[in-house]
């Protein structure tokens, strides 16, 4: 999600102990020194670049080294993502989300930790009869949500801010999660992949009309358009705010292995690990 960032795991080095006591104690001293140096380095990087993925993984030289993201701080008891277990889901009696987007798309960004495509200012979405402002969509490789314990190679998040938020209240956000499996090349992804800059921190304008969200939504068969899991959760990146209504579509779209690899190459492994539901309810529509 925009302006919210990423965390990763720590890697601990192991070493072989030597035979002689003298060597052993000097090696212990060296290890303690290395460890202190690492701690200092990680604290410094946090201060300097708190928002960069690489700053959260003190020992990772590259995104590929980071492995799956772990939270640097754990929020409350309504964190995302979660494992969506069909058998635990209750029937969602509320009106269908029935997505209606009126939007254009104006830029593709390489944020380092994700690739993001921005909606034009003034875009609107009507979800569950309420008005939202769609902000952007971005990708996670592999998926953040699991379905019945299964991870998918990619998940797309369409981020929508509620328009009816009371003053000074933190805005409700509805994120539509769409899972991808490997298969046929996806026409919609092809519309913007060439526009994503190779360099982190760069942004490319997209020609008006070149990327059409309809080309994505029309890939969902009508009978599946209102089939989804929903639950109350959080942003999956800092600050992990628990103000998100999650809607994860049950219909899994396809993307070619080359498309998924291209996205993963740009953003690395950027899926946060799954969290407990605690006393939250998971619904299925
Ligand atoms: Zn996301």
Q: How far is the CA of 110 from the centre of ligand 1 (A)?
A: 14
Average pLDDT over residues 3-27: 39
Is the backbone peptide bond immediately before 142 cis, with ω within 30 degrees of 0? yes
d(CA 93, CA 85): 18
d(CA 196, CA 176): 21
Instruction: Give me the chain's average pLDDT, please.
Output: 79
Strand partners, 107: 118, 205
Which tops the pLDDT comparison, 46 or 197? Answer: 197
pLDDT for 43-82, tens place per residue?
333 333 333 333 334 444 444 444 444 444 456 789 999 9
pLDDT at 37 over 60: no
Which tops the pLDDT comparison, 285 or 30? Answer: 285
Q: Which residues are catalytic?
A: 113
Where residue 211 falls among pLDDT bands split at 50, 70, 90? very high
Q: How far is the CA of 273 from the centre of ligand 1 (A)?
A: 12
Three-class DSSP category at 237 = coil
Ligand 1 ion: nearby residues, β-carbon < 5 Å: 157
Cβ atoms of residues 209 and 110 within 8 Å: no
Q: How far is the CA of 165 from the centre of ligand 1 (A)?
A: 21
Domains and CATH numbers, the chain: 65-284 (3.10.200.10)
Percent of the chain with pLDDT over 90: 59
Contacts of 29 (CB under 8 A, 6+ apart): none
pLDDT at 91 over 60: yes
pTM: 0.75
Average pLDDT over residues 188-203: 95
pLDDT for 231-275, tens place per residue?
999 999 878 889 999 999 999 999 999 999 999 999 989 999 899
CA 66, 242, 90, 137 dihedral sign is: negative
């Amino acid at each position: 999600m925009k302006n919210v960032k990423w965390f990763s795991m720590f890697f601990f080095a192991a070493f072989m102990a030597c035979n002689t006591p003298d060597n052993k104690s000097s090696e212990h001293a060296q290890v303690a020194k290395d460890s202190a140096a690492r701690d200092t380095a990680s604290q410094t990087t946090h201060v300097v670049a708190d928002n960069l993925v690489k700053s959260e993984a003190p020992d990772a030289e590259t995104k590929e080294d980071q492995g799956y993201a772990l939270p640097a701080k754990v929020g409350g008891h309504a964190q995302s993502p979660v494992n969506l277990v069909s058998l635990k889901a209750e029937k969602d009696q509320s009106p269908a989300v029935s997505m209606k987007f009126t939007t254009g798309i104006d830029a593709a960004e390489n944020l380092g930790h994700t690739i993001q495509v921005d909606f034009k200012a003034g875009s609107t979405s009507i979800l569950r009869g309420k008005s939202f402002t769609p902000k952007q969509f971005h990708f996670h490789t592999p998926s953040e949500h699991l379905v019945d314990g299964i991870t998918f190679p990619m998940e797309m998040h369409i981020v929508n801010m509620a328009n009816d938020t009371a003053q000074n209240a933190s805005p409700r956000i509805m994120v539509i999660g769409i899972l991808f499996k490997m298969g046929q090349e996806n026409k919609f992804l092809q519309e913007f992949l060439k526009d994503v800059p190779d360099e982190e921190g760069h942004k490319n304008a997209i020609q008006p009309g070149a990327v059409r969200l309809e080309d994505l939504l029309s890939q969902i068969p009508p009978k599946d358009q209102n089939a989804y899991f929903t639950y109350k959760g959080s942003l999956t990146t800092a600050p992990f705010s628990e103000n998100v209504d999650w809607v994860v579509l049950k219909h899994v779209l396809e993307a070619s292995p080359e498309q998924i690899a291209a996205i993963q190459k740009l953003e690395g492994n950027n899926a946060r690990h799954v969290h407990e539901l605690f006393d939250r309810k998971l619904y299925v529509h």
